[in-house]
């Protein structure tokens, strides 16, 4: 790790000076920033005092190709120098090509199924579009999952389970019922022919990387079909190779009526997508919804570059292999504070025996590793898909001392 630059008085660009300036001008929605980062390259980032960190969080599962990836940089620069923005009164070849690829991913288990794409700037916007599609069924009820997180805008918040997020902004849209995540019987009991949609994350990241298994998604598909409801899968965090597949739901064999994507889609360039299939693909018509920036040529080109690199470098397989390596080596520590590692690919949760995850994440940050704690007893790991085996091993080697320091 690079040593901090020597200084007696905080310079205008030091951590302490920038943090003070942040507090003067930024709304207090995130608290004080843990660090002020100024540069990134590959799996590393540097703060304003010159310290280097290895990124095991990817900006919350976003930078699947790491920082400043040359292929993404080249694609963005080339497109921006040619055509940057045109609004959605018009289209670009990149937008169309990206939509074609996303349709392939979403219909991989049912290639004959029709599908259409609506581009957005983020995951919560993709979920807002999906929410509107559910309203076009003529029904207003949605069944969502306990432990869910779908975003912070009003529609996405309505289907997010955490009361601390919801209650300050109630009343929220819709008639939403929450059922236990992974409980197919409870889901079947909650869904009838008045329900517009069932909304599920294939893995709940913000709830501590909880995987209900493929059988739950298969049961949800059957329950939706039996009641004429839409099955909506939120793959904002789990999509784009994060779990070792283009979609975490892919291996289940399930084709959803709606899939939402974002995060890893643009490797940090803001873009999201709502993909609807079957009858859902025709439910939004001119005037129902819109966006000024969604799917602009630069964002679409960035996403196409991400897809091309993942395919060319075999990163889906890498995510599976290194996820298995990381899981096996953490569990092989047989540390008394580690109960298990759960998740898939490079979206993993280290489940701890005590509620020390926030402290552990802070200790690791001080030692040059970026992680986070979505739950008091879960440390979330979501490194870039370009992480190396040696970096995985170095992280595992650093974990026991960090655990000891967190527990003391």
Sequence-distant contacts of 213-217: CB under 8 A, at least 24 apart: 213/182, 214/251, 214/252, 214/253, 214/254, 215/184, 216/182, 216/184, 217/249, 217/252, 217/254
Gap between the Cα atoms of 165 and 97, Å rounded = 37
SS (H, E, C) 201-240: CCCECCCCCECCCHHHHHHHHHHHHHHCCEEEEECCCCCC
Instruction: Provide the token pair at 206.
Output: 């913000």
Q: Which listed residue (55, 119, 263, 395) is catalytic? A: 263
- Cβ atoms of 277 and 115 within 8 Å: the answer is yes
- Collapsed DSSP state (helix, strand, coil) of residue 54: strand
Instruction: Provide the token pair at 28.
Output: 């207090």
C-alpha Rg value of the chain to the nearest Å: 21
The CB-side HSE value for 400 (13 A sphere, CA atoms) comes to 10
Partners of 179 in the β-ladder: 145
Nearest-5° Cα angle at 276, 275 to 277? 125
Q: Which listed residue (234, 257, 269, 395) is catalytic? A: 234
Indicate if 149 belongs to the active site.
Answer: yes
Instruction: Provide the token pair at 359.
Output: 């402290």
Indicate if 234 belongs to the active site.
Answer: yes
SS3 content of the chain, % helix, strand, coil (to 5): 40, 20, 40
The DSSP element (H or E) to which 324 belongs, if any, is helix 315-332
| Residue 387 burial (CB count, 10 A) | 25
Owner of token pair 């059957």:
222
Dihedral sign from CA coordinates of 256, 343, 368, 372: positive
Phi (first) and psi of residue 133, to 5 degrees: -60, -40
Closest residue by Cα to residue 347 from 60, 16, 20: 60
The CB-side HSE value for 300 (13 A sphere, CA atoms) comes to 26
Q: Which listed residue (149, 216, 269, 395) is catalytic? A: 149
Residues labelled as active-site residues = 149, 234, 263
């Amino acid at each position: 790790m690079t040593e901090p630059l020597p200084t007696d008085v905080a310079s205008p660009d030091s951590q302490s000076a920038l943090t003070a300036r942040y507090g003067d001008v930024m709304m207090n929605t995130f608290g004080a920033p843990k660090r002020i980062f100024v540069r990134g390259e590959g799996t590393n980032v540097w703060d304003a005092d010159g310290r280097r960190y290895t990124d095991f969080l990817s900006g919350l599962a976003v930078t699947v190709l790491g920082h400043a990836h040359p292929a993404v940089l080249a694609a963005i620069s080339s497109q921006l120098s040619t055509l940057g923005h045109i609004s959605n009164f018009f289209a670009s070849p990149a937008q169309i090509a990206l939509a074609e690829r996303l349709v392939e991913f979403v219909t991989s288990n049912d290639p004959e199924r029709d599908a259409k794409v609506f581009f957005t700037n983020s995951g919560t916007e993709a979920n807002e579009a999906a929410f509107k599609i559910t309203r076009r069924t003529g029904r207003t009820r949605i069944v969502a999952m306990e432990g869910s997180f779908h975003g912070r805008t009003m529609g996405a918040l309505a289907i997010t389970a955490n009361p601390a997020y919801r209650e300050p902004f109630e009343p929220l849209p819709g008639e939403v019922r929450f059922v236990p995540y992974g409980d197919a019987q409870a889901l079947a009991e909650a869904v009838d022919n008045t329900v517009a949609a069932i909304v599920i994350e294939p893995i709940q990241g913000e709830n501590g990387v909880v995987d209900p298994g493929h059988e739950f998604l298969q049961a949800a598909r059957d329950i939706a079909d039996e009641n004429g409801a839409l099955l909506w899968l939120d793959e904002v965090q789990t999509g784009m190779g994060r779990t070792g597949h283009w979609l975490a739901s892919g291996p289940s064999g399930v084709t959803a009526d709606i899939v939402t994507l974002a995060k890893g889609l643009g490797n940090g360039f803001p873009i999201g997508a709502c993909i609807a299939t079957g009858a859902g693909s025709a439910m939004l018509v001119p005037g129902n919804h819109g966006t000024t920036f969604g799917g602009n040529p630069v964002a679409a080109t960035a996403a196409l570059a991400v897809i091309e690199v993942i395919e060319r470098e075999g990163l889906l397989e890498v995510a599976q292999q290194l996820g298995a390596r990381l899981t096996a080596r953490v569990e092989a520590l047989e540390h008394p504070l580690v109960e298990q590692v759960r998740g898939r690919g490079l979206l993993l949760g280290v489940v701890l025996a005590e509620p020390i995850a926030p402290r552990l994440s802070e200790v690791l940050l001080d030692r040059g590793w970026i992680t986070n704690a979505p739950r008091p007893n879960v440390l979330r790991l979501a490194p870039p898909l370009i992480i190396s085996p040696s970096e995985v091993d170095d992280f595992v080697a650093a974990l026991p001392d960090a655990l000891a320091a967190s527990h003391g």
